[in-house]
Amino acid sequence: MRRDMGEHYQRLAGSYDDNWAYSPAFVEWMSAEIARSLSLRAGDRMADVGCGTGLFAKGIVAAVHPRQPVVCADPSAAMLEQLGESESLLPLPASAEDLAERHIALPFEQADAMWLKESVHHVRDPARTLAGLAGLLAPGGRLLVAMLPATIEYPLFAEALRRYEVLQPDPSRIVEHLGAAGLRSELTYVEHELRLDTERYLDMVRSRYMSVLSTFSEAEIEAGIAEIRSRFPGPEVVFPDRFAFVLGVREGSSAGGAR
């Protein structure tokens, strides 16, 4: 992981779940969407790549009740520490690249389902790394890249939105990468309305809840917050949280038998 991003997540780890805790409904909805898209079943061997604090892996455990622990891989020790003790989650200090290049092994030979939720933008060479991850899939295995779209309608300040658009990979490129890796791939979008107390949202901006915000200085963030306040003077901000879901499926039938 790049050093600046390592520091970003080291700082953010302790407050990451608080950012979303106001909305258990969001976590439940997103976890259910991931489980639905990946057709997850209890017998699947699963890995959450770039799991962060495990917020969504926990949601998936609650929804699917996997029979073996979900592997939670992340290069940030600080984020992984937030997983806590759980028999259903197996922390693995590893980046997507570590797994893709076989520098670090999954605890099973092949995976039935893997997902990267909002972590693919940290991967330096997505074509190569996604091909490596695709190679870890069992026949019938599924790989989901859940990511923000190329443009977002968040109530951020203008320069943050502009910089976001420069940094964010385009989901249609991810479709191409999964196709080139030999997977049948498709792109869909899911959307959820977020309704947040404005002050709460501004606290999230201040804590740089999105990694793009870590590219701004303290003074720039405060100026950005003033800009957001003037554009959104009400007590709440309401906006669509839209996600691109790029699903890749390896041909063949899964060997899972009765699940």
**Binding stretches for ligand SAM (CB under 6 A):** 1, 5, 9, 49-52, 55-56, 74-76, 79, 95-97, 117-119, 122-123
Select 59 or 141, whichever has its Cβ closest to ligand SAM.
59
Please report how close the Cβ of residue 108 comes to ligand SAM at its closest, in angstroms: 19
Please report how close the Cβ of residue 71 comes to ligand SAM at its closest, in angstroms: 12
Please report how close the Cβ of residue 26 comes to ligand SAM at its closest, in angstroms: 11
Select 9 or 245, whichever has its Cβ closest to ligand SAM.
9
What type of residue is 198? T
Please report how close the Cβ of residue 75 comes to ligand SAM at its closest, in angstroms: 5
Query: Which residue is listed with tokens 């992340």?
Result: 74
Backbone angles phi, psi at 206, to 5 degrees: -60, -35
Please report how close the Cβ of residue 115 comes to ligand SAM at its closest, in angstroms: 8
Sheet containing strand 137-147, strands side by side: 89-93, 70-74, 46-49, 111-117, 137-147, 236-249, 184-197
Of 58, 11, 52, nearest to 30 (Cα)? 58
99 near 126, Cβ under 8 Å? no
Select 7 or 165, whichever has its Cβ closest to ligand SAM.
7
Taking the CA atoms of 213, 210, 123 and 182 in sequence, report the sign of the dihedral they define: negative
| Closest residue by beta carbon to ligand SAM | 52
Please report how close the Cβ of residue 182 comes to ligand SAM at its closest, in angstroms: 21
Select 44 or 74, whichever has its Cβ closest to ligand SAM.
74
Select 108 or 209, whichever has its Cβ closest to ligand SAM.
209
E strand or H helix at 8: helix 3-21
Intra-chain end-to-end CA distance of the chain, in Å? 36
Strand partners, 195: 238
Pairwise CA distance, residues 41 & 113, whole Å: 9
Select 168 or 185, whichever has its Cβ closest to ligand SAM.
168
Pairwise CA distance, residues 144 & 31, whole Å: 12
Pairwise CA distance, residues 105 & 109, whole Å: 8
